[in-house]
Amino acid sequence: MATERLVLRGEEEHDLPLVQRAAEIIRAGGLVAFPTETVYGLGADALNREAVRKIFQAKGRPSWDPLIVHLDDPEQMFTLTRDQPASIRALMQHFMPGPLTLVLFKTAIVPDEVTAGLPTVALRVPAHPIARALIRLSDTPIAAPSANKFGRPSPTTAEHVLHDLDGEIDAVLDGGGTPVGVESTVIDLTTHPPTLLRPGATPVEAIEALVGAVHLLQSTPAEGEALRSPGMSARHYAPQAQVLLCPPSPDSLYVHTQRALHAGATVGVMKPIGWQLPSDPRLRVYTWGEWGDWRVLAQRLFDGLRWLESEGVQTIVCPLPPPQDLALAIRDRLERAARS
Ligand code: TXA
Ligand code: MG
């Protein structure tokens, strides 16, 4: 199939008909990639089983990995789920719309295709105006994983989406780069205390300040724990190159880069501004951002990994951010990308 690219301009008169066109495709059971504040999602009508199956086909996603359902109105959580804990109200008030996904027990309205047969469903209310408009005009909840081939870095531009999925989806709404760049935080509210299933754009510290302690899953899950969030166990977010992580200092980045070059590889580096590197014709450098400016580093993470990959490097060297706040989400994605 030919993938329609619907390029938005940020002017209502121009954009509205394009979002309406995308909503028609969703209502007809098709697949539309669209920007959210985190990354691009690959959307289908969450209440249409056939449409949801197409998402798994297009992504090459295993059927055991459940999808996030995107809502326009937070109150819809109460028709799609049951037995919510009292803390849900505070979480809704503080973090919705925004990059927080809640896992709750589902009602019969939610098809098993969406949840991979689990008794729970993951839900979020995106903050991006295009995502909101698309859900509203489609007049149905939209199931959407990140719009990449399974296991690849998430897409933060329409170009990234088309690189992975051109010809396999009906349309992409091109709203430019996504502002946050890493995915939503996923919290399981069916456990006491709640469990952090995926660190993401909403810092877990902010969630704990509101609802108390949250159980942290180890990034290498213990036996049994991996099953709690099926998508979290595999190697993920990975470019074709081997990712090598190093301690976050200029000296360490320099030495690790030199070592990779000596090993004979073409090397890509995710380089913080102002850090020095050896000069070598086999080196490709992505200037990532100021070290410590986690917002910028998160926003540019997947773009950097994808760019270095497109330059054909065999190894990517990257300093590893500390395990706190937004840096934890970047660190988590890099650790998964480095797993082989
Ligand atoms: O920011 C985001 O969350 C993006 C945008 C498009 O909204 N979406 C996204 O979806 O990252 P995806 O499919 O790439 O990741 C969803 C994660 C997976 O790790 C999946 O296993 C987990 O959420 N998940 C979904 N439903 C679940 C459930 N019922 N129980 C536990 N984990 C669940
Ligand atoms: Mg994903």
Atom of ligand 1 nearest to the CA of 148: 14
Rounded Cα distance, 297 and 270, in Å: 10
Atom of ligand 1 nearest to the CA of 65: 21
pLDDT at 219: 56
- Nearest-CA residue for ligand 1 atom 30 is 229
Mean pLDDT of the chain: 95
User: Does residue 239 surpass a pLDDT of 90?
Assistant: no
Please identify which residue in the block is written with the tokens 């330059």: 311
pLDDT at 236: 77
pLDDT at 213: 97
Rounded Cα distance, 37 and 23, in Å: 19
Ligand closest to CA 189: 1
Average pLDDT over residues 249-263: 97
DSSP 8-class letter at 124: E
pLDDT per residue over 210-232, tens digit each?
999 999 986 555 444 445 566 66
pLDDT per residue over 21-55, tens digit each?
999 999 999 999 999 999 999 999 999 999 999 99
The 3 state secondary structure assigned to 24-92 is HHHHCCCCEEEECCCCEEEEEECCCHHHHHHHHHHHCCCCCCCCEEECCCHHHHHHHEECCCCHHHHHH
pLDDT per residue over 57-107, tens digit each?
999 999 999 999 999 999 999 999 999 999 999 999 999 999 999 999 999
Q: Strand runs (DSSP E) across 199-240, as ranges? A: 215-216
The answer to whether the CB of 97 is under 6 A from ligand 1 is: no
Atom of ligand 1 nearest to the CA of 106: 29
Q: How far is the CA of 147 from the centre of ligand 2 (A)?
A: 7
pLDDT band for position 18 (cuts 50, 70, 90): very high
Distances (CA, A) of 301 to 15, 41, 131, 178, 239: 28, 17, 22, 12, 12
Ligand closest to CA 68: 1
The answer to whether the CB of 144 is under 6 A from ligand 1 is: yes
pLDDT at 85: 98
The answer to whether the CB of 87 is under 6 A from ligand 1 is: no
DSSP 8-class letter at 111: -
The answer to whether the CB of 231 is under 6 A from ligand 1 is: yes
pLDDT at 226: 46
pLDDT band for position 237 (cuts 50, 70, 90): confident
Atom of ligand 1 nearest to the CA of 182: 1
The answer to whether the CB of 120 is under 6 A from ligand 1 is: yes
CB-based contact 318:269 (threshold 8 Å): yes
CB-based contact 210:194 (threshold 8 Å): no
Distances (CA, A) of 321 to 297, 330, 331: 10, 7, 5
pLDDT at 234: 56
User: Does residue 204 surpass a pLDDT of 70?
Assistant: yes
Q: Peptide bond preceding 281: is omega within 30 degrees of 0, i.e. cis?
A: no
112 or 218: which leads in pLDDT: 112
pLDDT at 40: 98
pLDDT at 217: 80
Rounded Cα distance, 235 and 241, in Å: 13
Residues 6+ apart with CB under 8 A from 166: 3
